[in-house]
Amino acid sequence: MAGAYVAGRATADAATPSAADGARSSSYAFRGERQAGIVTPAQDRLHFAAFDVVTDSRDDLVALLQAWTTAAEQMTAGEPAGNGAVDGDVNLPPDDTGEALDLPASGLTITFGFGPTLFRDADGKDRFGLADRQPASLRELPHFPGDLLDPERSGGDLCIQACADDPQVAVHAVRNLARIGFGTVSVRWSQLGFGRTSTTSTSQSTPRNLFGFKDGTANVKAEEADALDQHVWVGSGDDDAAAWLVGGSYLVARRINMNIEIWDRQPLGDQESFIGRTKGTGAPLSGGEEMTEPDFSMPGSNDQPVIPVDSHVRVVHPDTNGGVRMLRRGYNFVDGSNALGGLDAGLFFIAYVRDPDTHFIPVQLVMSKTDALAEYLKFTGSALFAVPPGTGPGEHVGQALFA
Amino acid sequence: MAGAYVAGRATADAATPSAADGARSSSYAFRGERQAGIVTPAQDRLHFAAFDVVTDSRDDLVALLQAWTTAAEQMTAGEPAGNGAVDGDVNLPPDDTGEALDLPASGLTITFGFGPTLFRDADGKDRFGLADRQPASLRELPHFPGDLLDPERSGGDLCIQACADDPQVAVHAVRNLARIGFGTVSVRWSQLGFGRTSTTSTSQSTPRNLFGFKDGTANVKAEEADALDQHVWVGSGDDDAAAWLVGGSYLVARRINMNIEIWDRQPLGDQESFIGRTKGTGAPLSGGEEMTEPDFSMPGSNDQPVIPVDSHVRVVHPDTNGGVRMLRRGYNFVDGSNALGGLDAGLFFIAYVRDPDTHFIPVQLVMSKTDALAEYLKFTGSALFAVPPGTGPGEHVGQALFA
């Protein structure tokens, strides 16, 4: 990335300091029919940020989205943010903060979303003349059993999901977008994720969460066009008030603390019963391989099914939930330690769904009431965003919302 | 890592989910003359943890060090922790938590240290019969200007530095060592670092910190055997009470919050003056390339040297500090957001020195008083540990201390 930023200053040989991370040269176009970062093969690392808009000016908000669009297009191409005005001009602040100058694009995607409070504030006030375009399903999520939400880790007017195979590239993207937004937005909360827990393409193998189990085996994948239309992309007849969202999606973010110290002291058999899969291969307890469909009717001991009725795989399975599926894109996190002498660790859950009212809220309600895992989880953050469709040539992010 | 852990359960083909990260198959032997993780080429990712010992039993402490030694040797070889008792025994908690089962060793190193409070508690009590072996230089660091230390991010009886090229592998190591220590230790604080800011081998290129500048250009490197003996390794005559530490080192950990939002609004020329190097190539302002020695006497404008007297490179340079050098091994961090609408970001500074009294405290005092960077830094965590030499065959970590 050194070229455009420090032309005449940088040496030609800007070697990457992350040699061990190998092939990170992939890049994804920012503009397109859909926003990148949803069905894009899930990158290894995440920096997610939610923002409060601190201006009353609709023009300033639109100008920010224009500036963010320009910078996002540059950074996802592996270029620094900015227009070249920093080339040696020592009298101006640099247009790019510099920490990714020597790094390739690293598969960076930047995905933008709009929170319910962008449309109406807590008092119902129409902040930016957008209230009549607020999607009916875009409102604060209800309280779920197990929620112990920290307001400082919840909500937000805008969000940015930056995924990359190098965490420094993801952090650089969020940091520069926050810098560009100075005076218009402020960071409400931000979350790093060090390890992906989802597979969004059949080309990827299944990673493990901090319970040590494979996660996301049955995820909706990029190759399933029909399932994406049915479960992920907002359809043209879904919400007449929100035509601008057609082709987009809803992003559900949930910070889930895992009580890993207690979990680690449970017998292997109990862990597997809670999940409904074996720890080694991830095969369902009814047998087969990881990708084998679970057989919920297979009898086990004591007249109980071999896959317990309160096992996670069963409680959240489409067969138990009217057929609904989500595209999950979560990440493991460790944010230091907790007051109990353990790690502040868990899963930063991200799901993309066509409609949270049908595809998330009912599943979460069932899960938080009946899932055997619930005992080991505490929900400490929550947010919902409408994710507009992709940005066409010459457009800015979410342009149809403001048209 | 699947083999030993889930023999008979795992499929033979345990593919890595981190395909984009490429060649992570390197591994470093745990046992040797020195502990790995000091002169080892700095890996990309860090998980550092400090522990409080919660027992009064010297035997329990020694047993923990024995168990940690076994587990560290296994995990750095790319194997799971444990002795195989979990192979299918569903009635026992697994010996390994599982989240790294499919991942290679990823260059993991695990480095152990002993804090001053392991020898004497705050009241001066000899906790484990080790007080007469406490090194004279192993005591709480003095207060420095700019220190706003959080006690919950400072100190500790024991420390573990886990470095790897995959963060999930580093987290897995710390998490399993904490699990093994349950009842004997509790986590006092823990810190993730996503990007290395140091180069410890001439084979590595120089990375960038969150000021966007190359960092660690003049670091002591593995290839400089004489400099290591002079500045990093404790010598045989250094401290008669602490013969057990000969061949080891001292680890200084400092959590340095950077005010990146203010920094980003400084003109490029000011940023370069604060550092004393150009932002693009990292060359000293006196000219040349990154590795060119700075010329502090070169005149600039207004009768001032071209490298300002308060520039970071000058203030911390060995020429300004009686020739002392440190082996630095720091990492960039972002821990969510701060109360000011920005990112809680900075540098987790780690340095290995032969003696903090001569090689760290004087430099830090000068820096915190006169360095132009000090305005943009806030020190929020601090700790000092004695790092014993390597662990020989059949030994446990730090065995000479307890002999």
Do residues B362 and B347 make contact, with C-beta atoms less than 8 angstroms apart?
no
Q: Is B126 helix (H, G, I), strand (E, B) or coil?
A: strand
pLDDT at A217: 84
- Whether A24 is in a domain gets the answer no
Are B93 and A266 inside 8 Å of each other by CB? yes
Specify the 3-state DSSP secondary structure of A71.
helix
Contacts of B187 in chain A (CB under 8 A): 337, 341-343
Instruction: Tell me if B165 and A21 make a contact (CB, 8 A cut-off).
Output: yes
Query: Residue A299: beta bridge partners?
Result: A305
* Structure confidence at residue B97 (pLDDT): 95
Q: Which of B22-36, B41-55, B389-403 has the lowest mean pLDDT?
A: B22-36
Q: Hey, which bits of B176-220 come out as E strands?
A: 185-193, 195-196
Contacts of A272 in chain B (CB under 8 A): 90
Q: Which amino acid is at A320?
A: T
Task: Read off the pTM.
Answer: 0.93
Number of A to B CB contacts under 8 A, please give it. Answer: 287
% helix, strand, coil for chain A, step of 5 = 25, 20, 55
A26, A86, A90, A188, best to mutate vs chain B, most B CBs in 10 Å? A90
Q: Which of A89, A213, A341 sits opposite B187 (nearest CB)?
A: A341
The CA distances from residue B101 to A4, A141, A383, B9, in Å, are 42, 35, 32, 12
Q: Which residue of B has its CA nearest to A89?
A: B268
CB B345 within 8 A of CB B337: no
Q: Are B291 and B217 in contact (CB under 8 A)?
A: yes
pLDDT digits (tens, 9 = 90+) for B171-220: 999 999 999 999 999 999 999 999 999 999 999 999 999 999 998 888 99
- Quote the pLDDT of residue B24: 59
CB contact under 8 A, A93 and B192: no
Cβ atoms within 10 Å of B205's Cβ, excluding its own: 15
What does the pLDDT look like over A35-94, one tens digit per residue? 999 999 999 999 999 999 999 999 999 999 999 999 999 999 999 998 754 456 899 999
User: Which residue of B285, B292, B343, B348 is the best one to mutate when testing the A interface, meaning the one whose CB has the most A CBs within 10 A?
Assistant: B343
Nearest-angstrom CA–CA distance, A174 and A171: 5
For residue B20, tell me if it sits in a domain. no
Whether B232 and B238 have beta carbons less than 8 Å apart is answered as: no
Burial bucket for residue A147 (CB in 10 Å: 0-12, 13-18, 19+): middle
Long-range pairs, A274-278, Cβ under 8 A, ≥24: A274/A310, A274/A311, A274/A312, A274/A372, A274/A373, A274/A376, A275/A211, A275/A213, A275/A311, A275/A312, A275/A313, A275/A373, A276/A307, A276/A308, A276/A311, A276/A312, A276/A313, A276/A314, A277/A213, A277/A214, A277/A217, A277/A313, A278/B9
A253: closest CA of chain B, how far (Å): 15
- Cα–Cα distances (Å) from A46 to A30, A106, A170, A191, B163, in that order, read 17, 12, 6, 8, 19
Residues of A in contact with B205 (CB under 8 A): 15-17, 19, 102
Task: Let me know if residue A211 belongs to a domain.
Answer: yes
Chain B partners of A208 at a C-beta cutoff of 8 Å?
17, 98-102, 168
From chain B, the residues in CB contact with A192 under 8 A are 192, 194, 334-336
Find the domain containing A359 and state its range: 45-85+94-129+143-389
Distance CA(A250)–CA(A138), nearest Å, equals 8
Q: Based on the structure, what is the number of domains in chain B?
A: 1
Residue B26 lies in a domain: no
Residues of chain A in contact with residue B92, where contact means CB-CB under 8 angstroms, are 267-268
Position A18 in a domain: no
H-run or E-run covering B331: strand B331-337
Query: What was the pLDDT predicted at A281?
Result: 92
CA distance A246 to chain B (A): 32
What whole-number distance in Å separates Cα of residue B400 and Cα of residue A337?
31
pLDDT at B87: 57
Task: Give A199's contacts (C-beta < 8 A, 6+ positions apart).
Answer: A42, A205, A206, A207, A216, A217, A219, A221, B17
Indicate yes or no: CB of B208 within 8 angstroms of CB of A102: yes
CA–CA separation, B147 and B145 (whole Å): 6
CB contact under 8 Å between A212 and B174, yes or no, is: no
Q: Give the minimum alpha-carbon distance from A17 to chain B in angstroms, rounded to a whole number.
A: 5
Backbone angles phi, psi at B400, to 5 degrees: -60, -30
Closest CB from B86, B188, B199 relative to A268: B86
What is the rounded distance in angstroms from the CA atom of residue B364 to the CA atom of residue B361? 5
Specify the pLDDT at position A85.
Answer: 45
Minimum distance, in Å, between the CA of residue B42 and any CA atom of chain A: 10
Residue B9 lies in a domain: no
- DSSP bridge pairs for A50: A159, A189
Residue A27 to residue A15: CA distance in whole angstroms: 18
Bridge partners of residue B334, in order along the sequence: B345
- Does A371 map to a domain? yes
Q: Which residue is closest to B265 within chain A, CA to CA?
A: A93
A189: β partners: A50
| Backbone φ/ψ region at B187: left (φ over 0), alpha (ψ -120 to 50), beta | beta
Strand partners, B158: B51, B114
Give the closest-approach CA distance of B396 to chain A in angstroms. 24
Distance separating alpha carbons of residues A328 and A348, to the nearest angstrom:
11
Give B398 to chain A, closest Cα distance, Å.
24
The encoded tokens of residue A86 equal 């920093």
* Separation CA B293–CA A66 (nearest Å): 44
pLDDT at residue B315 is higher than 90 = yes
Q: Name the residue among B16, B175, B280 with its Cβ closest to that of A10.
A: B280
pLDDT tens for each residue of chain A, 403 residues long: 333 333 222 222 233 333 334 445 699 999 999 999 999 999 999 999 999 999 999 999 999 999 999 999 999 999 999 875 445 689 999 999 999 999 999 999 999 999 999 999 999 999 999 999 999 999 999 999 999 999 999 999 999 999 999 999 999 999 999 999 999 999 999 999 999 999 999 999 999 999 999 988 889 999 999 999 999 999 999 999 999 999 999 999 999 999 999 999 999 999 999 999 999 999 999 999 999 999 999 999 889 999 999 999 999 999 999 999 999 999 999 999 999 999 999 999 999 999 999 999 999 999 999 999 999 999 999 999 999 999 999 999 999 999 9
The verdict on residue A182 lying in a domain is: yes
What is the DSSP code (8-state) at residue A263?
A: H
Locate A367 and state its tokens: 């899960």
Among all residues of chain A, which has the CA nearest to that of B183? A341
Rounded Cα distance, B377 and B374, in Å: 5
Q: Is the ipTM reported for this complex over the cut 0.90?
A: yes
**CA angle, A116 then A119 then A120, to 5°:** 90
Instruction: Identify whether the C-beta of residue A304 lies closer than 8 Å to the C-beta of residue A198.
Output: no
pLDDT number for residue A16: 34
CB contact under 8 A, B343 and A174: yes
Query: Cβ-count burial of A220 within 10 angstroms (0-12 exposed, 13-18 middle, 19+ buried)?
Result: buried
- Rounded alpha-carbon distances, angstroms, from residue B297 to A96, B46, B282, B286, B300: 31, 38, 19, 9, 9
Nearest CA in chain B to A200: B17
Report the amino acid identity of residue B391. T
Is residue B20 predicted with pLDDT exceeding 60? no
Q: Which two tokens mark B125?
A: 């009590």
How much is the average pLDDT of B133-162? 97
Q: Contact A346/A210 with Cβ under 8 angstroms? A: yes
Asked if the Cβ–Cβ distance from A47 to B264 is below 8 Å, we say no
Structure-block tokens of residue B56:
């009064």
Helix (H) or strand (E) holding B369: helix B361-370
Query: Which of A20, A49, A334 is the closest to B107 by Cβ?
Result: A20
